[in-house]
Amino acid sequence: MAAIAAQAPAGTHFYCCGPGPMLTAYEAATAGWPPESVHLERFGASAPLVTGGDGFVVQLARSGVELRVPAESTVLQVLQQNGIAVDSSCEAGICGCCEIGVLDGEVDHRDEVLTASQRAANRSMMVCCSRAKSARLVLDL
């Protein structure tokens, strides 16, 4: 993998899916490339999903509905329990299917999809696993 990455022309995008040790080698081989050009998908989360922390409020911008997300639940679970349809698949933060826009509030990103710069921009979150650092999140729903 290192040889392939070293010989690839500028602007190349790399994609990899596989077991943990292979992805570790892939990440090492592509470490010098811009993060937005390095894409990977895991077979499973590298760490177990952890809820907990403080509960918080999620406001749905389009309807104004406010929902409380308790410490033991995910945003996705609360949305689904309240009849709000959101695409989801892995429910572990590895596929990106449940990405929702964030309009206000600070996200505690726990996914393995977004790059560091995307996390810093705080414009979206994976509602299956990420939580709030702030007391309220306003979602583009």
Of residues 107 and 40, more confidently modeled: 107
Is residue 61 located within the same domain as residue 36?
A: no
- Based on the domain organization, do 82 and 122 belong to the same domain? yes
Same structural domain for residues 60 and 129?
Answer: yes
Residues 61 and 127 grouped into a single domain: yes
* Entry pTM: 0.73
Q: Residues 6-49: pLDDT tens digits?
A: 999 999 999 998 888 888 899 899 999 998 898 877 776 665 55
Contact 105, 137 (CB under 8 A): yes
Q: Are residues 11 and 33 in the same domain?
A: yes
What stretches of 20-139 show up as alpha helix (H) in DSSP? 20-29, 75-81, 116-121
Looking at the domain assignment, is residue 100 inside a domain?
Answer: yes
Residues 25 and 71 in one domain: no
Asked, for residue 51, whether it belongs to a domain, the answer is no
Does 18 share its domain with 72? no
pLDDT digits (tens, 9 = 90+) for 79-90: 999 999 999 998
CA angle (125, 129, 133) in 5-degree steps: 65
Q: What is the mean pLDDT of the chain?
A: 90
